[in-house]
Chains A and B, each alone.
Chain A
């Protein structure tokens, strides 16, 4: 199968300052890639690049045609403003369908159906009328995933998704993501700090420190120099 994303010797950054240097990675359909690294190691910049919000300043980034057409689902880091935002769950989920249409002002039946399906899939249909700010952290995360799934069936990019979740919600979250990856075949790209749990989840690991310190199968990561140093610290 053709890879979804091929990145060759690519640099990404802002105003003459590259946060990501000489990065070469491949993301295949069905992958579960986890990106780890210290703060300021260029993870978020790379995510922007993958989403097409930032063009590479050098090298190439090739995104498969089907992915460009179908779109990428994105789960950004939560902002403080969202925590007390007055919006119902279905309003939030529906807003995920926006990428599918041009400039029509209102939601169509098709889009409403998609949002309903997406909520059912994540088991949040009963919360439909509830206010987003009154949900627990884990429930909020489900709502945001449902929104992202309205945008795509192919690939989800998650930026530090477990920040602020309690331990049991984190375990549930990992189960959910694995289910989406294995059962539904959705490609996952996740940025995380939680390296110890991630090794058992992902099939590929990218360890960044501006450059790629390690990129390869998750099974090999613990044996690599970068992995050893990181896991021991």
Chain B
């Protein structure tokens, strides 16, 4: 308890907690839809791209978010289109784009500022990265994501479960897919500097995969993902503070532990059912 009070006395930690909770909530909700539609790798691709865009922005001296948000949003559209047309296999395309963007980012930084701590904090995240502006942006983002999932919940379900059927019933599938792409892009750009380019995609996929282990309805998977993601984030931050480990990596490990725990519970349930029979 005392430690929590101590933590909350640092303004940068309060900002990190606030922004992080909002971003991990958005990532988890969007993640359920992305994972179920087999787009898990998109988070990874977008975060590497965002790293490239950020390094260029820093080198040229522009506002980092003003560059990376539009670039990553464009890329998100492009990647979703790819999967629709599928002439190039989309997983290969994502791997190609993410590696190239990472390489561009590294070359640009080593040519200009050199590999400073800044670059390392982009790669692996830094708790100090959440600015006041980022917190505001996260609040707006989560407001949009939450209202999308409350008011268009049924449409999102229909599109995620069966795009063709949804299209035939007159839902504007393209519009919702683009909306999800844009929101994912913004989530990733906002979360990336805290979680790190290499680790942010775990915020998208872990909560969804973990919830799907135990829960059987779409509604419960969505709810569980949101709660789980926020919970893991907070535990991860506390662990990182206590043990002086990097925040991003700690959060990923807490998520992993949760995943393993859910598997064990699932096994336990099965054995229980088995013996009852």
Residues of A within 8 A of B (CB): 51, 53, 71-72, 74-77, 79-82, 85-88, 91-92, 94-96, 98-99, 105-107, 130-131, 134, 147-148, 151
A36 to B12, CA, bound (A): 66
CB of B200 closer than 8 Å to a CB of A: no
Q: A79-B162, A92-B161, A106-B154 are in contact. Are A53 and B167 (CB under 8 A)?
A: yes
Contact among B153, B158, B166 with A105 in the assembled complex (CB-CB below 8 Å) = B153
Are B38 and A98 in touch, CB under 8 angstroms?
no
Which residues of chain B are near A79, meaning CB under 8 Å? 162
A99 to B170, CA, bound (A): 6
Which residues of chain B are near A131, meaning CB under 8 Å? 216-217
Contact among B36, B170, B212 with A81 in the assembled complex (CB-CB below 8 Å) = B36
Contact among A85, A106, A107 with B161 in the assembled complex (CB-CB below 8 Å) = A85
Which residues of chain B are near A148, meaning CB under 8 Å? 165
A106 to B152, CA, bound (A): 8
A131 to B216, CA, bound (A): 5
Q: Closest CB-CB distance, A109 to chain B, in whole Å?
A: 15
Q: A71-B169, A76-B164, A79-B162 are in contact. Are A86 and B217 (CB under 8 A)?
A: yes
What 1/0 flags go to B216-228 for Cβ under 8 Å of A?
1111010000000
A53 to B163, CA, bound (A): 13
Beyond the given pairs A86-B36, A98-B169, 17 more chain A to chain B contacts, judged by CB atoms under 8 angstroms and listed by A's residue number, are: A51-B168, A74-B164, A76-B168, A77-B164, A81-B38, A85-B218, A88-B218, A95-B158, A96-B169, A98-B155, A98-B166, A99-B169, A105-B151, A105-B152, A105-B154, A131-B217, A147-B165
Which residues of chain A are near B38, meaning CB under 8 Å? 80-81
Which residues of chain B are near A82, meaning CB under 8 Å? 161-162
Are A91 and B168 in touch, CB under 8 angstroms?
no
- CB < 8 Å A-B pair total: 79
Q: How many residues of B contact A (CB 8 A)?
A: 29
Q: Closest CB-CB distance, B171 to chain A, in whole Å?
A: 6
Q: Closest CB-CB distance, B72 to chain A, in whole Å?
A: 25
Q: A98-B171, A106-B154 are in contact. Are A87 and B218 (CB under 8 A)?
A: yes
Of all A-B residue pairs in the complex, the 10 with the closest CB atoms, nearest first, are A99-B169, A131-B216, A76-B164, A74-B168, A105-B151, A88-B217, A95-B158, A87-B218, A86-B221, A51-B168
Q: Closest CB-CB distance, A154 to chain B, in whole Å?
A: 14
B216: nearest chain-A partner, CB-CB: A131
Contact among B36, B150, B154, B211 with A98 in the assembled complex (CB-CB below 8 Å) = B154
Are B162 and A76 in touch, CB under 8 angstroms?
yes
CB of B78 closer than 8 Å to a CB of A: no
Are A85 and B165 in touch, CB under 8 angstroms?
no
Q: A91-B157, A105-B151 are in contact. Are A53 and B218 (CB under 8 A)?
A: no
Q: Closest CB-CB distance, A217 to chain B, in whole Å?
A: 28
CB of B37 closer than 8 Å to a CB of A: yes
A107 to B155, CA, bound (A): 11
CB of B136 closer than 8 Å to a CB of A: no
Contact among B36, B212, B217 with A91 in the assembled complex (CB-CB below 8 Å) = B217
